[in-house]
Amino acid sequence: MNLTAESHRIPLSDGNSIPLLGLGTYADPQKTPKGSCQEAVKIAIDAGYRHIDGAFVYFNEHEVGQAIREKIAEGKIKREDIFYCGKLWNTCHPPELVRPTLEKTLKILQLDYVDLYIIELPMAFKPGDALYPKDENGKFIYHETDLCATWEALEACKDAGLAKSIGVSNFNRRQLEMIMNKPGLKYKPVSNQVECHPYFTQPKLLEFCRQHDIVIVGYSPLGTSRDESWVNVSSPPLLKDPVLNAIGKKYNKTAAQIALRFNVQRGVVVIPKSFNPQRIRENFQIFDFSLTEKEMKEIEALNKNVRYVELLM
């Protein structure tokens, strides 16, 4: 694949396209100063990012929207230059909740549409104000819903122009097949956002998605923030890996840049999160070199098949 900073987008099955590199925006709201997400998005846009990955449950969508609107007002970008991905949370799977939930997100963002709207997880929680509803024993309260009906509600959002493209996240092959084999399917998922990096390369899912024209968007492409409250830290830190660091030395790049380049070079979109100006810029500098076939194979061989994000719920 020939990638340049100017043309680093890949086509989606519905005729749209997605930038191969996006800015992840999840940061623990308790530990992150207000305004840092907004500042990060503005720095990212100045650095050349056009893809921002967000979600209602990150509690900072208002900052993302504000940053995008400020950059539009400055004349730096137009709305159509930006690719924003929003997510449908687990408590909002019942079909009648889907459009109002997306409309709420658009109100928070103060934008007219999202470029991609995805079902964040394939399982549902009890609808209501509690985003993580639990019973008196501290167990999550799940909710029986039909993923195909949820999908139809997403299709209606695309038809209404509220989402340019629709997709899923954390879906396995069986769940993807369930949607794709749904009688009367109008649009298939254009993408599946899943954990993907050199220690969790997803070879089987990647092959399946390639065959069905579904783009894989790799989350935690740098191996997460290693926050023990939700990350399995028994898997070693990705960025300390000797192979990634040795290859980085050859190209005068960091292990982070090698990990990101590895994925984009095999057609996997990456959405590294950084709120640090220097690292935001660093993560974008991956389009001016390429890895050899041998190096790609060496990195593929690092796969440990262990997730950092176990999603135990």
Q: Which residues here bind ligand NAP, judged by CB under 6 A?
A: 24-26, 53, 120, 169-170, 193, 219-225, 239, 254, 256, 271-276, 279, 282-283, 309
Whether residue 251 contacts residue 18, with contact meaning beta carbons closer than 8 Å, is answered with: no
d(CA 237, CA 308): 10
Q: 142 or 186, CB closer to ligand NAP?
A: 142
CB of 139 to ligand NAP, least distance (A): 21
Supply the minimum distance, in Å, between the C-beta of residue 183 and ligand NAP: 28
* Sole residue written with tokens 């890996």: 241
CB neighbourhood size of 164 (10 A): 19
Nearest residue to ligand NAP by CB is: 24
Element (H, E) at 22: strand 22-24
Complex with ligand NAP: residue 113 or 171, whichever CB lies closer: 171
Q: Side chain identity at 280, as an amino acid letter? A: I
- Specify the residue, 71 or 273, whose C-beta has the smaller distance to ligand NAP: 273
Q: State which H helix or E strand residue 19 sits in.
A: strand 17-19
Q: What is the closest distance, in whole angstroms, from the C-beta atom of residue 275 to ligand NAP in the complex? A: 4
Contact 291, 299 (CB under 8 A): yes
| C-alpha to C-alpha distance for 290 and 304, rounded to whole angstroms | 24
DSSP state of 82: -
Give me the least distance between CB of 87 and ligand NAP, in Å please: 7
143 marked as part of a ligand binding site? yes
Task: List, by residue number, the catalytic residues.
Answer: 58
Helices (H), 75-197: 95-109, 147-159, 173-180
Number of helices (H), then strands (E), belonging to the chain: the values are: 10, 10
Tokens of 18: 């997605």
Closer of 44 and 111 to ligand NAP (Cβ): 44
Q: Minimal distance in Å, beta carbon 136 to ligand NAP?
A: 27
DSSP 3-state of 87:
strand
Query: Could you tell me which residues come within 8 angstroms of residue 120 by beta carbon, excluding any fewer than 6 positions away?
Result: 55, 57, 87, 88, 89, 90, 169, 170
| Pick 34 or 78: Cβ nearer ligand NAP | 34
Annotated binding site for substrate: 143
